[in-house]
């Protein structure tokens, strides 16, 4: 794979995430596909760690996704193995055997049951993954486990990503400091209505697995499920959360516990920041765009319209060209198939009203709008004037960079 | 608008379509947007001509589409006015008035009722269309009406098209020669499940309006509704058919008439050829791809899977890169949301089996496959192994050309 230039939307610096009690990790170079970079992450959790997860709804999910789906109901986790360079997807019975072998190697290295091992793989689809490569590597990796620095696992899981993605929150509950650390990868094959490519979140909060699962699924909806880079949904989308319970607090065992709301909000912030990082590292991205739809007949309808706009190649190329082409936004509203009344439509770029009552706004200011479109973070709002439904989808522009990256990915 | 290079998939020559009795036309330069090229087409039909049409299902349809939708139930046509350079879509009450004025000018020039005038506009969305520009132009154009050459109307309706699109059929029914001539335009904002951008078909076959409507809608399904360039659906999609009835035959008044089948097949051939021309002039296209899905649980399910593949930017960029990236095909099958069993999937490029039973095929030949991918016309077949459902969707690749064309279309 050719190296691609770092996204202009990359953060200027990366957060120095703190240790989370009960979580250790190390990375290694297994040489799966890339040279001279880490491509395997081994993470260990102390006994008593609970797990929750959201997985791709693709009908062609990867072997690792199938593995996680089978282990999640157990709710317990002791280890996580992630590799980049090969997705182990569409690899048939070979893929299933490869996953079983990897889990066995990891369970042995960490001294736990294979049902407590979670797996994720990302990279090219359709190539068999040789799990024997993990044999020596994971054993050796298990001897180097540390609590920091978190940028290392974020780097090991990258594929076409141009920057590592980290986010964390430290909150205080009943005077006790609680930490949430998250990492993510992904910059292509990203579409909402599923989870993201790969994201892992850990916390020391004592929280029951079912509560964690509910909070994760809820806040996934407005973070990873609300982003799209290219409308293509991965076979491998995996969002996993692990709670070690090491913070000195009584566990949250019910959503009615008022601390569930506080913890959930901090979790939501971490998920949202990671999701936005994914968009900002969208393949070829030069602009980040928030597409707001308001006044729809329902939130679901608003979401589908926002997604139609955010997925439209014509809208995305116009944004790349810094053209406030509201005609293409109208087109995307029209094709969404949701209730819309052309003559009630209003469209704003930032605070600038470009269209109102189904036609160009009387006070439309081409100069001001053109100046606004030169920004790196753009807000596009469509008001339908039909009801109270609203939703936001986050995306990036569509540039020559996307074509370049994806015209030569496999070779 | 910048001039873009002619599609490498353009035909080497254009058919010299014959005159169709009862149909005359002329084109003109109204200066709506373009300079030094025709941008208005006026077509006149003799009395007794019946009309049928398929229009966009966009919720934000253009003023001209609304006008045609109102006039189609009448079933009679005397005139057609098409302009390029401005779509008169999302132009509110101004757009409606503009359409009424255009119809009045045309009806006066041709000496008929406005309810017998059909209209279509294509070009930028959201800019008001000044219908007064048609006033002198249509009167003058009406004095120059001729029966040939058909390449002129095909040229006048082009926007980002890089070549004019024509197709015709001459068939013999009961010893009488019957003609069908068609033209089309479109190369972006093209997606199936609606009609195309703009296409007009004329015939001298005597056929009842309701029979023509049924045949048109039926064969639209496997032609214009089975193509996609960029998954974006136009506000202006319009397919109209006009039958002058001048051929010396008894009219077809029922679908049970055996001649309906013969005529319908010829009509289907013309629609299909025009639709393929649209794909081959897809913005930035360098390859034409037929995506076949077989073994689905139903034809509808097969169509949705074929469309998911044909709309996938990752599949389309891989094809542009001449990469037989079946992993991305699997991804697209997975995201379609239709019944699919990963472990029964087989994928072929041309006759080359690349995947079988949910993994890379044992006899996979990278060299032969790479050589195949260098062709300009590619066949991609997915076998699901679930049932008898099948469908084909026609598309093109996604290249830097698409980004270039659409990054600067409006400006």
Residue A371 to chain B, least CA–CA distance (Å):
14
B342 touches chain A (CB under 8 A): yes
Which residues lie below 8 Å from residue B231, measured CB to CB, with a gap of 6+?
Answer: A231, A311, A312, A313, B191, B311
B90 chain-A contacts, CB cut-off 8 A: 326-327, 330, 342, 345, 355, 358-359
Q: What is the dihedral of CA A322, A325, A329, A335, to 10 degrees?
A: -110
Domain boundary residue, one of A257, A280, A303: A280
Annotation says B196 is catalytic? yes
**Greatest alpha-carbon span in chain A:** 70
Q: What is the dihedral of CA A391, A394, A398, A404, to 10 degrees?
A: -140
Q: What is the ipTM of this complex?
A: 0.76
pLDDT on residue A93: 84
- Which residue, among A92, A86, A82, has the nearest Cα to A130 in the 3D structure? A86
Residue B2 lies in a domain: no
Supply φ then ψ for residue A35, to 5 degrees: -115, 150
Any idea what the Cα angle at residue B291 is, between residues B289 and B296, rounded to 5°? 180
Domain boundary residue, one of B238, B262, B280: B280
Inter-chain CB proximity A321 and B407 less than 8 Å = yes
pLDDT on residue B3: 60
Residue B5 lies in a domain: no
Out of A90, A317, A330, closest to residue B125 by CB? A330
- Order the strands of the B23-28 sheet from edge to edge: B23-28, B40-45, B79-86, B117-124
C-alpha to C-alpha distance for B138 and B147, rounded to whole angstroms: 17
A320 chain-B contacts, CB cut-off 8 A: 403, 407
Per-window interface: B 72-101 vs A, CB < 8 A:
87, 89-95
Q: How far is CA B79 from CA A151, B47, B74, B252, B389, in A?
A: 68, 10, 13, 23, 41
C-alpha to C-alpha distance for B169 and A34, rounded to whole angstroms: 56
A380 — pLDDT class (breaks 50, 70, 90): very high
Looking at the structure, do residues A267 and A209 belong to the same domain, yes or no?
A: yes
Marked catalytic residue, from A49, A196, A228, A238: A196
Of residues A84 and B89, which shows the higher confidence score?
Answer: A84
Looking at the structure, do residues B292 and B240 belong to the same domain, yes or no?
A: no
Please check the confidence at residue A61 and state whether its pLDDT lies above 50. Answer: yes
Looking at the structure, do residues B306 and B158 belong to the same domain, yes or no?
A: no
Residue A383 lies in a domain: yes
Which residues lie below 8 Å from residue B13, measured CB to CB, with a gap of 6+?
Answer: none
Domain of B109: which CATH number?
3.60.70.12
Residue B141 lies in a domain: yes
Each residue's pLDDT tens digit, A288-333: 999 999 999 999 999 999 989 998 988 999 999 999 888 889 888 9
Size of interface A-B (CB pairs under 8 A): 237
Residue A2 lies in a domain: no
pLDDT on residue A2: 45
C-alpha to C-alpha distance for A342 and B92, rounded to whole angstroms: 8
Peptide bond into A149 cis (omega under 30): yes
Out of A89, A92, A334, closest to residue B60 by CB? A334
Looking at the structure, do residues A59 and A203 belong to the same domain, yes or no?
A: yes
C-alpha to C-alpha distance for A33 and A42, rounded to whole angstroms: 18
Please check the confidence at residue A364 and state whether its pLDDT lies above 80. Answer: yes
Per-window interface: A 240-299 vs B, CB < 8 A:
none
Residue A144 lies in a domain: yes
Task: Encode burial over B31-56: b for 16+ CB neighbours within 10 A, e otherwise.
Answer: ebbbeeebbbbbbbbeeebbbbbbbb
Marked catalytic residue, from B49, B141, B196, B235: B196
From first to last of the 411 residues of chain B, give the pLDDT tens digit: 446 678 888 888 898 999 999 999 999 999 888 888 999 999 999 999 999 888 877 777 888 989 999 999 988 999 999 998 888 877 888 889 999 999 999 999 999 999 999 998 888 777 888 888 888 899 999 999 999 999 999 999 988 788 898 888 898 899 998 999 988 887 666 554 333 467 788 898 888 888 888 888 888 787 777 777 777 766 767 777 888 989 999 999 999 999 999 998 888 888 888 888 888 888 888 999 999 999 999 999 999 999 899 989 889 999 999 998 888 898 889 888 899 888 899 999 999 999 998 888 888 898 999 999 999 999 999 999 999 999 998 999 999 888 887 886 454
Domain of A390: which CATH number?
3.10.20.340
A183-187, A213-217, A246-250: range with lowest mean pLDDT:
A183-187
Out of A323, A410, A411, closest to residue B411 by CB? A323
Inter-chain CB proximity A234 and B331 less than 8 Å = yes
Per-window interface: A 110-129 vs B, CB < 8 A:
124-128
**Greatest alpha-carbon span in chain B:** 70
- For CA atoms B57, B60, B63, B66, the dihedral sign is positive
Looking at the structure, do residues B275 and B312 belong to the same domain, yes or no?
A: no
Which residues lie below 8 Å from residue A59, measured CB to CB, with a gap of 6+?
Answer: B333, B334, B336, B337, B338, B339, B340, B342
The count of structural domains within chain B is 2
Looking at the structure, do residues A78 and A218 belong to the same domain, yes or no?
A: yes
Looking at the structure, do residues B204 and B128 belong to the same domain, yes or no?
A: yes
Residue B6 lies in a domain: no
Looking at the structure, do residues A89 and A206 belong to the same domain, yes or no?
A: yes
C-alpha to C-alpha distance for B147 and A10, rounded to whole angstroms: 61
Q: Which domain holds residue A388?
A: 288-407
Alpha helices in B77-131 (DSSP H): 92-110
Strand partners, A181: A168, A202
DSSP string, B39-70: -EEEEEE-TT-EEEEEE---TT--HHHHHHHH
Out of A94, A342, A406, closest to residue B90 by CB? A342
Of residues B181 and A7, which shows the higher confidence score?
Answer: B181
Does A228 carry a binding-site annotation? no
Residue A321 lies in a domain: yes
B366 touches chain A (CB under 8 A): no
Domain boundary residue, one of B257, B280, B303: B280
Looking at the structure, do residues A230 and A326 belong to the same domain, yes or no?
A: no
B311 touches chain A (CB under 8 A): yes
Looking at the structure, do residues A298 and A228 belong to the same domain, yes or no?
A: no
Strand partners, A178: A171
pLDDT on residue A9: 81
C-alpha to C-alpha distance for A8 and A5, rounded to whole angstroms: 9
Question: Can you give the C-alpha Rg of chain A in angstroms?
Answer: 22
Looking at the structure, do residues A237 and A338 belong to the same domain, yes or no?
A: no
Inter-chain CB proximity A313 and B399 less than 8 Å = no
Residue B307 to chain A, least CA–CA distance (Å):
13
Looking at the structure, do residues B64 and B169 belong to the same domain, yes or no?
A: yes
């Amino acid at each position: 794979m050719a190296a691609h230039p770092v996204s202009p939307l990359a953060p200027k610096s990366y957060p120095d995430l703190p240790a989370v009690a009960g979580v250790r990790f190390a990375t290694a170079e297994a040489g799966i596909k890339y040279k001279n970079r880490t491509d395997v992450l081994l993470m260990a959790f102390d006994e008593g760690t609970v797990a929750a997860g959201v997985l791709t709804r693709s009908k062609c999910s990867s072997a690792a996704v199938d593995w996680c789906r089978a282990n999640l109901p157990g709710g317990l986790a002791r280890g996580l193995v992630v590799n980049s360079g090969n997705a182990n997807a569409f690899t048939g019975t070979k893929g299933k055997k490869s996953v079983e072998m990897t889990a066995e190697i990891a369970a042995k290295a960490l001294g736990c049951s294979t049902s407590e091992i979670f797996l994720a793989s990302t990279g090219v689809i359709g190539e068999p993954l040789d799990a024997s490569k993990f044999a020596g590597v994971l054993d050796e990796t298990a001897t180097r486990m540390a609590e920091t620095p978190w940028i290392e696992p974020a780097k090991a899981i990258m594929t076409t990503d141009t920057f590592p993605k980290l986010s964390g929150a430290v909150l205080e509950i009943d005077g006790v400091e609680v930490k949430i650390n998250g990492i993510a990868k992904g910059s292509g094959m990203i579409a909402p209505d599923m989870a993201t490519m790969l994201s892992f979140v850990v916390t020391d909060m004592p929280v029951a697995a079912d509560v964690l699962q509910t909070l994760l699924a809820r806040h996934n909806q407005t973070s990873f499920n609300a982003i799209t880079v290219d409308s293509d949904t991965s076979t491998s989308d995996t969002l996993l959360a692990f709670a070690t319970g090491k913070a000195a607090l009584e566990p949250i065992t019910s959503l009615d516990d008022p601390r569930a709301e506080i913890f959930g909000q901090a979790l939501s912030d971490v998920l949202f920041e990671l999701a936005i990082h994914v968009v900002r590292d969208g393949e070829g991205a030069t602009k980040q765009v928030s597409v707001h739809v308001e006044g729809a007949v329902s939130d679901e309808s608003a979401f589908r319209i926002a997604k139609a706009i955010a997925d439209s190649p014509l809208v995305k190329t116009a944004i790349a060209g810094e053209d406030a082409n509201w005609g293409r936004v109208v087109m995307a509203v029209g094709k969404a198939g949701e209730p819309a009344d052309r003559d009630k439509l209003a469209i704003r770029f930032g605070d600038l009203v470009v269209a109102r009552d189904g036609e160009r706004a009387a006070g439309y200011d081409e100069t001001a709008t053109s100046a606004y479109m030169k920004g790196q973070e753009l807000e596009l709002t469509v008001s339908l004037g039909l009801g109270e439904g609203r939703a936001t989808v986050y995306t990036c522009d569509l540039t020559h960079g996307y074509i370049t990256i994806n015209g030569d990915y496999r070779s």
